[in-house]
Structure 1
């Protein structure tokens, strides 16, 4: 029999001291005390001088590991919703036994304290409201949280259909246009919108539809100003190493790479006074 010598209440746990050191299969060495949570004290009615059989003691330790792990999990999920994978990782990092982790996850799931399906759906709806991510980016972010790809794909199809994707893509495209229109030519702006939308996780098809929906038009006066400003900077840079025909070719290539129209570039170069460089 295992006899309790003393029970001392600490800040969070109870220290249970035994009359003699014990050996247990999961311990590296003999111990004359253990630390248990209040749930364990109550369930096993632990008191001074109480005697436990080896079987009862093993049940006590198993229950206490579960109870302490459950308390850790409840603390972890109290701040914000978590996925089952995140909770498992947290418990593992706090040295909770694997068998107990599975039992804790099962308990949390049955009591709807963690719900991967609800988590995914809430995450997707949040991204739709924020209008800042497409389905491919959402998929990637959720996978990183250890969620099942099949479940993510299923809920994306249900919650974020193509019509909603287009609505979100248009909103995001409008933000880009508002921020960048004055600094880019029409062609550059279209490239920027398409590039940003695809980077954010929208398909090329949805990005193209969103871009077409905006019905963007060129501001010729602004585009001409942008071209001449860029021409001046580029001419200043290349005139240090090139001159004549090669200089103009280098400038033309550089401006074309930046999205300016070849006809407009040629016209601007003809009018530009290279003698000042």
Structure 2
């Protein structure tokens, strides 16, 4: 058979033969097989052209996806599936991209850890979960995390949380709030507790008294509508204890308030 048309169509080329074959191929395919209009080509050669064109097109799609930022193997695989690339061809593309270091899940994990250490605020559990969702295997994650330390990051996050909540909670509640924040960000109890030990927890006495009176007033307005006398006092006390205030200080403030 003979090639009767080789015409550019946006990012691909349309190849037609005198036996009514129509194939969309890449520029790489043209170069690889020295394709030109009028060239003779047999069935086996056409089959090779089609197979390589599928591979070349899929690889170009993957490289376009990778051009924006680093991706995991699973992310690229999913992207190619959405573009209807044949599963066998996807496997070949992924293998080639890994060979050429366009895809490297271990390096991806190491970059995530580096960025987190530099400017992030996530603990190991949160990062592990994120990487699992990206399709990275457990053994790669474990190997990269083995020597990673999170104490300094936990201390940095604890300082930010402490500053954020300072003056808004009692000493005890402030400590609980900071610890809860660290755990929610994926730090383990060990690193969280070490970070808490580095902070100053005794707040200004006058500020604490002002905060207590503010919360007391809030509790009174909430419960005085339905409760009176002993019942009202007990509900206010329980409310303030949940806020982390000291019992004796609550009783003293109540005597002055009621």
Shorter-chain TM-score tier: over 0.9
Equivalent position of 1:83 in the other structure: 72
Contact map agreement 1:187 1:259 (CA 8 A) in 2 = yes
Contact map agreement 2:169 2:243 (CA 8 A) in 1 = no
Equivalent position of 1:180 in the other structure: 165
Equivalent position of 1:24 in the other structure: none
CA RMSD of aligned residues (A): 1.3
The alignment partner of 1:60 has SS state of helix
1:145, CA displacement in angstroms?
0.4
Equivalent position of 2:142 in the other structure: 153
TM-score by length of 1: 0.90
Q: Distance in 2 between matches of 1:247 and 1:14?
A: 82
Contact map agreement 2:179 2:193 (CA 8 A) in 1 = yes
Equivalent position of 1:271 in the other structure: 256
Contact map agreement 2:23 2:50 (CA 8 A) in 1 = no
Q: Distance in 1 between matches of 2:165 and 2:94?
A: 48
Q: Distance in 2 between matches of 1:153 and 1:196?
A: 24
The alignment partner of 1:271 has SS state of helix
TM-score by length of 2: 0.96
1:48, CA displacement in angstroms?
2.0
Which runs of structure 2 are paired with 1:249-268 in the superposition (5 Å)? Answer: 249-268=234-253
Moved over 4 A (4+): none
1:270, CA displacement in angstroms?
1.4
Q: Distance in 2 between matches of 1:268 and 1:98?
A: 72
Contact map agreement 1:131 1:171 (CA 8 A) in 2 = no
1:9, CA displacement in angstroms?
1.8
Equivalent position of 2:226 in the other structure: 241
Deviation sequence 1:100-130 (CA, Å, 0-9, x none): 1111111111111111111101101111112
Q: Distance in 1 between matches of 2:177 and 2:15?
A: 66
Equivalent position of 2:213 in the other structure: 228
1:58, CA displacement in angstroms?
1.2
Q: Distance in 1 between matches of 2:173 and 2:8?
A: 70
Q: Distance in 1 between matches of 2:60 and 2:120?
A: 37
1:8, CA displacement in angstroms?
1.1
Equivalent position of 2:11 in the other structure: 12
The alignment partner of 2:146 has SS state of helix
The alignment partner of 2:6 has SS state of strand
Task: Please say if 1:40 is aligned against 2:32.
Answer: no
Task: Please say if 1:132 is aligned against 2:121.
Answer: yes
Contact map agreement 1:5 1:18 (CA 8 A) in 2 = yes
Contact map agreement 1:190 1:211 (CA 8 A) in 2 = yes
Structure 1 unaligned blocks of 5 or more: 22-31
Q: Distance in 2 between matches of 1:9 and 1:204?
A: 61
Q: Distance in 1 between matches of 2:7 and 2:155?
A: 64
Task: Please say if 1:118 is aligned against 2:107.
Answer: yes
